[in-house]
Copies of this chain bind each other. A is one copy, B any other.
């Protein structure tokens, strides 16, 4: 049955009928009668039916999602291929998990962000939600497969967040993550260093030049909070306030801590002294000299880890990319060790004194209108991020035979990388199709059949040899039409079945796209075409 009106939409009727977006088309119902509600009186009913017939809805993808096509797909596939080859180079194997999980699996894993999870409707049976990331499904997979004692797995797939989208900056509701994670019980900081090396290698091979890996340690951060006097129960919420330092000023963060989260001002000020620290290996000595901090077991462990980590990052030649940054906190609950975020100049929001920003904008740079694109007021955010999470798998496996499965991983944000890479790319050099040969027929006169079955036979011969070939879907095509089609595809070669040559068992092979120096072409026996074309393509 046709259902043209959303049955339980919470949008005002106007938003169904009128779109603010430029692209929309009208949809007229073929229904004779409305199925939506019962009218109060016959007259009203008639009017309703009439209205319904002309119901319009915006033809679009859901908010925060988009279609990908043409050269964008070629470019995005190139990003996937580059990252896949980096992942495989480090011994990665891939897994695939369902796009939705049982709702209990995702519950309690994402802290304040849980409200952004998409739920499936209860249609009977299990309650499910769309995955929010690839990490929790990976942990669930490990808990379900206890025979896997160690694994380096990569997973390239879509995840879902009901967040405020900023499409031109690659902040979407449906977006790809490319994750590499190392699970298993190993000596401290070795897999951690490799995860960071993979982040550096991946971004470098993608041609991202100006990135920095911001690095911190949850144990160090927890130690700092303890030493400053944050009650243990408040650590996560204070941590999530600190995490906003890449987007808002210290004053705003302090305000959130003291006013919204009731932290004493002097505690906030102490935290402020620590979180402004950043540097390289040198920062380790500064922290080691801080006796109060080193007396805290958690902080001391964190610093000890960092010493080792920097030694290994040196061996991987990754140190120059790293900024040890005590303001990095990361929002997610499940991290237990080192955490990192790769950022570029485009990651941060534009400065507040940008000419275009009017005074009504708050320092948080969020537009007031739900439907307004926030792209102008935010940066692309981090382009890759990750950390160590040693207890997530155990959360699924709290039986007596406790499963301990320490993990560390890195996740690349493809849409954000895409928007950076596309901005630098010469898109005119990308070909959308892979067609190598266009099979044409030339001829005329009353006897001329157009050689359609003959062109089909030649194409079939090429396909069987693995050669990409097309022909015009027309019984009697004109030469011009066929050349135009071949040119539009950017096909480098044409096979021309001439009326006379064909009867002599021959065809002409011509190189295309040569402009002024048009190719005369070679005569090739029909039975030799595939082999001849293969050699021509191999030479190019």
A190 within 8 A of B: yes
A404 within 8 A of B: no
- Report Cα–Cα, A467/B88, bound state, in Å: 9
Partner-binding segment picked from A8-16, A225-233, A493-501, A530-538: A8-16
Q: A396 to chain B: which residues have CB within 8 Å? A: 25, 27, 59
One digit per residue, 1 when the CB lies within 8 angstroms of any chain B CB and 0 when it does not, for chain A 82-110 equals: 00011011111111111111111101100
Query: Chain A: interface secondary structure?
Result: loop
- Whether B312 contacts A25 by the Cβ 8 Å rule is no
- Report Cα–Cα, A160/B123, bound state, in Å: 14
- Report Cα–Cα, A303/B69, bound state, in Å: 37
- Whether B69 contacts A186 by the Cβ 8 Å rule is no
Pick the residue among B27, B76, B463 that contacts A90 (CB under 8 A). Answer: B463
Distance from A376 Cβ to chain B, minimum over Cβ atoms (Å): 22
- Whether B473 contacts A187 by the Cβ 8 Å rule is yes
Known pairs A4-B107, A93-B432, A396-B25; A61 contacts B101 (CB<8 A)? yes
- Report Cα–Cα, A463/B205, bound state, in Å: 11
Residue in chain B with minimal CB distance to A463: B89
- Whether A10 contacts B460 by the Cβ 8 Å rule is no
Residue in chain B with minimal CB distance to A434: B88
A165-222 residues with Cβ-Cβ distance < 8 A to B are: 174, 184, 186-187, 190-191, 193, 197, 201
Distance from A186 Cβ to chain B, minimum over Cβ atoms (Å): 4
- Report Cα–Cα, A456/B57, bound state, in Å: 58
One digit per residue, 1 when the CB lies within 8 angstroms of any chain B CB and 0 when it does not, for chain A 1-23 equals: 11111111111000000000001
A143 within 8 A of B: yes
- Whether B125 contacts A457 by the Cβ 8 Å rule is no
A119 within 8 A of B: yes
Q: A4 to chain B: which residues have CB within 8 Å? A: 104, 107
- Report Cα–Cα, A452/B194, bound state, in Å: 12
Partner-binding segment picked from A43-51, A290-298, A313-321, A353-361: A313-321
| This protein's copies in its complex | 2
Q: A97 to chain B: which residues have CB within 8 Å? A: 61, 67-68
A126 within 8 A of B: yes
- Whether A99 contacts B99 by the Cβ 8 Å rule is yes
Known pairs A3-B104, A174-B98, A311-B453; A8 contacts B66 (CB<8 A)? no
Pick the residue among B143, B187, B433 that contacts A25 (CB under 8 A). Answer: B143
One digit per residue, 1 when the CB lies within 8 angstroms of any chain B CB and 0 when it does not, for chain A 60-71 equals: 111101111110
Distance from A184 Cβ to chain B, minimum over Cβ atoms (Å): 8
- Whether B141 contacts A98 by the Cβ 8 Å rule is no
22 sample A-B contacts, Cβ–Cβ < 8 Å, listed by A number? A1-B114, A6-B104, A8-B127, A9-B122, A9-B126, A10-B124, A23-B144, A61-B98, A65-B100, A67-B95, A67-B98, A69-B141, A69-B145, A70-B95, A73-B94, A88-B468, A89-B467, A91-B434, A91-B470, A93-B433, A121-B122, A312-B452
Nearest 9 pairs of A and B residues by beta carbon? A315-B456, A65-B98, A2-B108, A186-B473, A315-B453, A68-B96, A119-B121, A3-B107, A190-B473
